[in-house]
Amino acid sequence: MAGFIGGVFSRDKGRMRTLQNIIVTGGAGFIGSNFIRFLFRNKDFKGMIVNVDKLTYAGNPLNLVDIEEVYGNKRYFFEKMDICNHAKIKELFKKYSVDGVVHFAAESHVDRSIFGPGDFINTNILGTFNLLEAAREVWKDRNDVLFHHVSTDEVFGSLGKDGFFYETTAYDPRSPYAASKASSDHLVNAYRHTYGLPCTVSNCSNNYGPYQFPEKMMPLMILNMMDEKRLPVYGDGKNIRDWLFVEDHCSAVWLILKKGSVGETYNIGGENEWQNIELVELMCEKMAQIKGKDKDYFKKLITFVKDRPGHDRRYAINCDKIKRDLGWRQEVGFDRGIDFTMHWYINNKEWVESIKSGDYRKWIELNYGGRERTSR
Ligand code: NAD
Ligand code: DAU
């Protein structure tokens, strides 16, 4: 088997892939919707996207109305579907002659995984298993296809003051979310190794940007500032995260689709570490500037609250490999990314209000009903 895998590697190396019919799972969520928009803006991409999403609380088709309007039922198809539904997923592979999968769909919020891990086990582990099985059954021994699995740096555990996560760092997941993602990464690598399924994996740090569900730290803080509500900082606020603008993550995934080597894992990160409290203070200052207030006006809203159980202290990614091997660079970066993001939430009142009021759920019910739905 090792020889066979070696064959896939060597045939694949240095070759530019042109995937045409791509399933994007979780495309109605934060990163998935940004990725689909990124692809349609990209002149290099000439293919078709099938967005497969169950529309959980985090999935919002409003994130892609502009794409639906221009490309809907031509180059963009939406399938309301649970990735755990084996028969339906397999059918989709055939129906759209799928040659690529970009797998974003997941339960993604660490706090929710602590209070209710069940959905995380189902979607993140069993859902990934199900997609892999469908790909293996339909693609058989094809090697002109690719299954790209989008994962997180949280699988590596927590760092002390120094050091970085490398692709070779041993897994040490510490929340149910991280454990479920680690499990799915292992399944993907096992399918590549055992069955020769052409797979790649990426492990990325904290993303921020437009369309992020406001349970996550950055949009939560922005929306709370706008409403002059308290800004809940967990524990002593000194936990460190590495922040990457979502479009810079999308461009990395796109490069992996085009020229990532089968069987490889790529770390993606912002090389941009912030203590939570320092980041929240920075956002307060930026909001004050935007709203014409005194520099410290919003800082009075900062409230230290009970810590997240098992709260990982520090994440930091070394992403030399994707820079060296695929030539990836951040195009937007932090200074522009954070300003853009703050203005986006301030200016996109309709989107913000539909989330806050829950009206986007009513819209989904009206347009998509409670049942699974297919585009054609
Ligand atoms: P998100 O929660 O915003 O979106 C997840 C999407 O998946 C939603 O549209 C949801 O409806 C869909 N989904 C959930 N369960 C499903 C199921 N059973 N079947 C079909 N669709 C389902 O998540 P996100 O922040 O966009 O993250 C996307 C992926 O990137 C996840 O795999 C996450 O682990 C990974 N990731 C996220 C970050 C980050 O900072 N947000 C960083 C690194 C990696
Ligand atoms: O590192 C990648 C991960 O980043 C992704 O895999 C996850 O899907 C994504 O949700 C994110 O996980 P975090 O737990 O790091 O993100 P979150 O926005 O929930 O929290 C960021 C930091 O801010 C974390 O240290 C906890 C803290 N925090 C969070 C919230 C929601 C607060 O202090 N207050 C808050 O209200």
Stated as kind and residue range, the H or E segment containing 326 is helix 320-326
**Confidence label for 367 from pLDDT (cuts 50, 70 and 90):** low
Enumerate residues 6+ apart whose C-beta is below 8 A from 65.
none
pLDDT score recorded for residue 361 = 72
Q: Does 365 or 216 have the greater pLDDT score? A: 216
CATH numbers and ranges of domains, the chain: 9-209+246-269+316-331+358-368 (3.40.50.720)
177 catalytic? Reply is: yes
Residues 6 or more apart whose Cβ sits within 8 Å of residue 252: 202, 204, 266, 268, 322, 326, 328
| Protein residue with least CA distance to atom 21, ligand 2 | 217
260 lines ligand 1 (CB under 6 A): no
Instruction: Determine the atom of ligand 2 nearest the C-alpha atom of 207.
Output: 4
pLDDT above 90 coverage of the chain, percent: 89
The per-residue pLDDT for 5 is 30
As for ligand 2, residues whose beta carbon falls within 6 Å of it are 108-110, 152-154, 205-206, 216-217, 220, 232-234, 239, 241, 276, 308, 315
Residue nearest to ligand 1 atom 35, measured at CA: 151
- Proximal ligand: closest to the CA of 178: 2
Whether 19 and 257 have beta carbons less than 8 Å apart is answered as: yes
The catalytic position among 82, 153, 167, 248 is 153
370 pLDDT tier (thresholds 50, 70, 90): low
Ligand 2: residue whose CA is nearest its atom 10: 109
104 lines ligand 1 (CB under 6 A): yes
Alpha helices (H) in 43-196, listed in sequence order: 65-71, 86-95, 110-115, 118-120, 128-139, 176-195
pLDDT per position as a tens digit, 69-128: 999 999 999 999 999 999 999 999 999 999 999 999 999 999 999 999 999 999 999 999
- The DSSP code for 143 is -
Each residue's pLDDT tens digit, 21-72: 999 999 999 999 999 999 999 999 999 999 999 999 999 989 999 999 999 9
Please tell me the pTM assigned to this model. Answer: 0.95
Residue type, 332: V
CA distance 119 to 105: 12
- pLDDT value of position 6: 28
Q: Are 79 and 101 in contact (CB under 8 A)?
A: no
pLDDT of residue 360: 72
Segment 136-144 mean pLDDT: 94
Distance separating alpha carbons of residues 13 and 6, to the nearest angstrom: 11
d(CA 244, ligand 1 centre) in Å: 16
Residue 3 has pLDDT above 50, yes or no: no
